[in-house]
Structure 1
């Protein structure tokens, strides 16, 4: 740098000193110093070269860049994480994002360094959500009035047609930064979940306390059906910034997925408390919190659909207010809440006690489709929205005793899943899509059973089983997932057992259910102990009728043990035990064991002393 001569200008702001050099053929070169150490270099160009030309000159063709968009939806830069390099783009390259959104954005971004950091935030690096201001900074690149501030950015996948018009205005070099890997991870979700996870692991290898990486990792783990890991990641994020609402929401989502409904509700109620002023400061985040609160009520062991509906209506009002924001990220999250709020209302009405349920559910679903179509056309929804919408519609219809014919919803959810599977070669994303498809088809099974269309129920059930078992191979299913998959096989077997009285065919399905349901009580959430045990007791009847007496007794004993646990934990009254005890008494009696038969007969007639469940 001695050959450059003295700088043409210099300025100091806080701990940063920026020297400006006039060097041909560049417009200028800016160096940012921290304690006399160069931390960042910005080479300002004349804007005549395109991105592909710069990439070729710098050997960047093999490095995947993360396109960055500002809060108004305009392309501002490309970041190359492995090289510690960013290309700032000309205003001519600024465009509104297309409809192939890939990220459920959270909050409007802020400068992203954890604490003081090593990279001067003024170097022009945009930052994703989940960041915090790093304090003093000196801009390397002055921005014109018509360009968005680099202190706030949203991250988004761009339409492929942009490339030919983009021009590079500056090349920024700095130390390899974990933030850049977080930014690229956000772009890769949801269609490249495995690749996103690699980026987040790299970010944490560079800085194990990068709370934005932990927060993004929590959201990704929840999406991939790994709630225990999601909770751990959220706790790590909160250790870095305990007041950030995005991380509190990530923690609440993980708790809800783990079946810890009371803990999740407490977390979101704390966020919505008046003293926190979240409703005034960030209505889109308050809407998300209200939506989660409603789900805590609707998905609880003893659902309160009236309170759920109140919270979901509140969430939609907050989301509608946030739709007026000029910030793209805020509008994206608000739009997602609006769609999910309408779908949640359909679910609350279908499963709750309401008048005119059929018509009301259809109205909520129709409105959800309208809102989703409008939001998708504006580029406000992510790539998963069609799959989620149709899955949620089927979940709602399964709550109606006289459900409408679900064929159109089934066809649409299958088409949405096929489109996503065609668009990705990422194993984790494929597993996620297949699991979501399987859960949707599981609801279709329930609907067709209610309609008496057992052939259709079996067809959808087989497709659901194929999708979910393929997904479970790499999903590491937790107890709730195992329960769902086991219950699917149980339902298919029950069709043969109850409708056809064909217990041999029923046990063929039950054989596939048992590996998922064969868990000790300690691994099963308290609210699932009763239905889990009842399934095992019911399956045991078919094994007994099919001549498999030993298996029948073992299953009944296991199921009775789980149901006893439910009674002990006040999740059920003691009289629920009369069914398994009477079954065991008859089984032992027919097997010639009079002592055991008498024992279980006494237990079956034992007075109820456990009181009423909670």
Structure 2
């Protein structure tokens, strides 16, 4: 059987394209205050020539040249689609002949970056490992005959992307949520008697709402069911003193794979009651019937209610809202330590949120799932009263804000439940929108952004965020309309102008027909507006301005790399150097330094993938992988780690493309497999767009083809193709981008490995589907009719081996006719 020529070439080392005037990155000028000044006043000697005049500010792009005066930038010529065939043998009978994922690793990285040297390396060799040895060989899930490879150090996700079982080392270090067993043990030794103060909602009374993400299930009993005597004297206050905490020597186990639970834990929602009375539900009439008439009281805030003297408490107050019980306040005779009181109430396992006064001193502890609040004596950890209130969305939002940087799953659950009980809580919508965007759940983010816009139609932040979500969903025109509508408002703050211009630059790059000069113009305006904000008094404004500046610099470099500009090799490194200076300017302890470093590496590798004239990718691959290794000691949040894995995978994908553009395909199989591992780990919580699915499918297809061509290992190839096909099925991006013919040829190629693995029915079906797509592309003048000769010939062979001579002869004749036709030259380029 035969393969299309461009697919055969995937396993071949291409000739490296010569690079002209390529400065070594290590020799780039430092970015200092002088450089900053030059950003606005640089002479035309460093000008970048463009096809059309573009307004430029605060940059080195200070002059443009009409298109007719520009020499044409060299374009890579398309690879010829020939009919030369490659015979693919069956899977080797000996496991050693074709062990999957076992290509030789080697490093040929130069000590110093030579501008004209080809830097090639297996990326797993870039960073030295000191403490954990893992099996870095990627094994096939389809072949049980393959022996385990010996362990060796490696980077990144350390289980095969074809293998689902976690490594023992990972299972051993996974953190489990606390259970109520420890609380029960504490209660056994407690000097306080049991305190059955609260009662959780019975199934027959108030059904517990359903939420997502959780805590250990807790329960408590009603004070009416048992007599309790609180000690009137002798309970010492748990004063918080400045006692030194002994420093323990700890060793943190490295977690290269984020440990995210398969199912999100759930909130244990169960509103508390006191003697059968539920705040927010029980009527005043029912209260009077059960407790009798109380004595009326009023407070300075205007609230009114009744109180009772109920042993063993000093006083029990109930406020009334209309005809319904609003809250219950139980004043304790003596202060009780918060931890002991929570243990007695069997709510110690719940996550709390502190109420702080203006000085930042805790005056209360809230248990949102129960509607329980401890009134705390300021400066201590002693509770003086217990309050019961209806479940309050604000308490869930406050708790989410406190955990948003450490446990995304719990924060998301709190925000989702806050919106469930208050659908108009704007801050909950905004915070959850940010998390959904970070997680890549774009459809959910769109719903939240649209809901937030309805709640506050004039809020600029929400409207720009909605524009960003639309851009991520490839709804370019709608995104542009949202940004332009924001810009029409009067008296916009400079930061908003900078953010909107940056976003318009990204929109211009993402358009189906990109406008590179327009993008450069928008990025330049963003730089002009954001630069003065770097000295603003507000730290948050400085941080936002730095993020805009970094993205605008990287975006400018990307527009230059992709466009038909001159002097790329001279100008692009300057923009990269300035981008690097923006990230390096932060102190090491800055909270967002790693985020900016990640953004920088991703942006530079995207530039490297877009042009072979300036930046060598390998040093930035190393930098990216070093950063990924460093987050193990800094980030414990599993979902955040997955986000980083996704970004790392995207960066490595760009590095693969950059290497291909430079004719460097050494270690391609190992590097592609590592890239796929990061992407697979990172996309588990994401809603992939059509383009993202197509890109991941392309990578899996490439890995499968390399296993097939280089090793004759069709078992592993089929395992990768099984991942590819679902990502490509019903994917509209192929038709939109004129790649239907390429998709058809890829399916025809995959079918060969299915045939070799005795999956005959799948092989024929995939081949026929590929032929249909190729015919569709030929009808649209996107593919040479002669390319059908390979597909028809393969089908002829398949039917012949199945004994269907009639079908075999039919396809053989069709292959001969296709071979003799096809004067049309395909516009497809690799």
Length-normalised TM-score, structure 2: 0.50
Take 2:377 and 2:458, find their aligned partners in 1: how far apart are those partners?
34
**Contact 2:694–2:727 (Cα < 8 Å) also in 1:** no
Q: Which residue of 1 aligns with 2:133?
A: none
**Contact 1:454–1:495 (Cα < 8 Å) also in 2:** no
Q: Which residue of 2 aligns with 1:540?
A: 748
Q: Does 1:479 align with 2:687?
A: no
Deviation at residue 345 of structure 1 after TM alignment: 2.0
Deviation at residue 346 of structure 1 after TM alignment: 2.3
Take 1:541 and 1:522, find their aligned partners in 2: how far apart are those partners?
19
Q: Does 1:222 align with 2:444?
A: no
Q: Which residue of 1 aligns with 2:661?
A: 450
**Contact 2:745–2:774 (Cα < 8 Å) also in 1:** no
Aligned pair partner of 1:400 in 604, 611, 614 = 611
Take 1:266 and 1:441, find their aligned partners in 2: how far apart are those partners?
33
**Contact 1:192–1:424 (Cα < 8 Å) also in 2:** no
Return closer, same or farther for 1:68/1:370 CA change in 2, 3 Å cut-off.
Answer: farther
Aligned pair partner of 2:426 in 208, 211, 220 = 211
Q: Single out whichever of 577-586 and 201-210 deviates more from structure 2.
A: 577-586
Which runs of structure 2 are paired with 1:189-588 in the superposition (5 Å)?
189-272=404-487, 274=488, 276-277=489-490, 280-375=491-586, 379=590, 381=592, 384-402=595-613, 404-492=615-703, 502=710, 504=712, 508-509=716-717, 511-513=719-721, 515-518=723-726, 522-525=730-733, 529-531=737-739, 533-538=741-746, 540-541=748-749, 555=766, 558=769, 574-576=781-783, 578=785, 580-581=787-788, 583-584=790-791, 587=794
Return closer, same or farther for 1:442/1:321 CA change in 2, 3 Å cut-off.
Answer: same
Instruction: Deviation per CA, 1:185-214: give whole Å up to 9, x if none.
Output: 344345422122112112112212223222
Which runs of structure 2 are paired with 1:61-100 in the superposition (5 Å)?
64=351, 80=366
Deviation at residue 227 of structure 1 after TM alignment: 0.9
Deviation at residue 364 of structure 1 after TM alignment: 1.8
Larger RCO (CA within 8 A; separation ≥ 6): 2
Instruction: Deviation per CA, 1:75-114: give whole Å up to 9, x if none.
Output: 6879845567699999xxxxxxxxxxxxxxxxxxxxxxxx
Instruction: Deviation per CA, 1:561-614: give whole Å up to 9, x if none.
Output: 56787899xxxx624464654544555677532564488679956899xx9xxx
Take 1:89 and 1:362, find their aligned partners in 2: how far apart are those partners?
60
Take 2:571 and 2:377, find their aligned partners in 1: how far apart are those partners?
50
Q: Which residue of 1 aligns with 2:396?
A: 181
SS of residue matched to 2:585: helix
* Cα RMSD, aligned residues only: 4.9
Structure 2: runs of 5+ lacking an equivalent: 1-293, 305-318, 330-334, 798-807
Which runs of structure 2 are paired with 1:103-182 in the superposition (5 Å)?
176-182=391-397
**Contact 2:694–2:731 (Cα < 8 Å) also in 1:** no
Take 1:374 and 1:165, find their aligned partners in 2: how far apart are those partners?
41
Take 1:216 and 1:525, find their aligned partners in 2: how far apart are those partners?
31
**Contact 1:84–1:173 (Cα < 8 Å) also in 2:** yes
Return closer, same or farther for 1:76/1:356 CA change in 2, 3 Å cut-off.
Answer: farther
Return closer, same or farther for 1:597/1:545 CA change in 2, 3 Å cut-off.
Answer: same
Return closer, same or farther for 1:284/1:540 CA change in 2, 3 Å cut-off.
Answer: same
Take 1:507 and 1:533, find their aligned partners in 2: how far apart are those partners?
26
**Contact 2:704–2:718 (Cα < 8 Å) also in 1:** yes
SS of residue matched to 1:455: coil
Return closer, same or farther for 1:585/1:459 CA change in 2, 3 Å cut-off.
Answer: closer
Take 1:231 and 1:603, find their aligned partners in 2: how far apart are those partners?
49
Return closer, same or farther for 1:173/1:508 CA change in 2, 3 Å cut-off.
Answer: same
**Contact 1:584–1:600 (Cα < 8 Å) also in 2:** no
**Contact 1:185–1:199 (Cα < 8 Å) also in 2:** yes
**Contact 1:223–1:432 (Cα < 8 Å) also in 2:** yes
Return closer, same or farther for 1:402/1:432 CA change in 2, 3 Å cut-off.
Answer: same
SS of residue matched to 1:243: coil
Return closer, same or farther for 1:254/1:6 CA change in 2, 3 Å cut-off.
Answer: closer
Return closer, same or farther for 1:181/1:347 CA change in 2, 3 Å cut-off.
Answer: farther
**Contact 1:403–1:447 (Cα < 8 Å) also in 2:** no
Structure 1: runs of 5+ lacking an equivalent: 19-31, 43-48, 91-163
SS of residue matched to 2:483: helix
Return closer, same or farther for 1:414/1:507 CA change in 2, 3 Å cut-off.
Answer: same
**Contact 2:707–2:717 (Cα < 8 Å) also in 1:** no
**Contact 1:227–1:257 (Cα < 8 Å) also in 2:** yes
SS of residue matched to 1:384: helix
Take 1:564 and 1:351, find their aligned partners in 2: how far apart are those partners?
31
**Contact 1:339–1:368 (Cα < 8 Å) also in 2:** yes
Deviation at residue 480 of structure 1 after TM alignment: 2.5
Length-normalised TM-score, structure 1: 0.66
Return closer, same or farther for 1:188/1:5 CA change in 2, 3 Å cut-off.
Answer: closer
Take 2:447 and 2:715, find their aligned partners in 1: how far apart are those partners?
39
Instruction: Deviation per CA, 1:288-326: give whole Å up to 9, x if none.
Output: 222222111212333222212211222222222444443
**Contact 1:190–1:383 (Cα < 8 Å) also in 2:** no
Take 1:269 and 1:79, find their aligned partners in 2: how far apart are those partners?
45
Bigger Rg, structure 1 or 2: 2
Take 2:327 and 2:477, find their aligned partners in 1: how far apart are those partners?
48
Q: Which residue of 2 aligns with 1:126?
A: none
Return closer, same or farther for 1:68/1:603 CA change in 2, 3 Å cut-off.
Answer: farther
Take 2:380 and 2:587, find their aligned partners in 1: how far apart are those partners?
25
Q: How many residues align?
A: 500
Deviation at residue 541 of structure 1 after TM alignment: 4.2
**Contact 2:754–2:763 (Cα < 8 Å) also in 1:** no
Take 1:474 and 1:428, find their aligned partners in 2: how far apart are those partners?
8
Deviation at residue 67 of structure 1 after TM alignment: 8.2
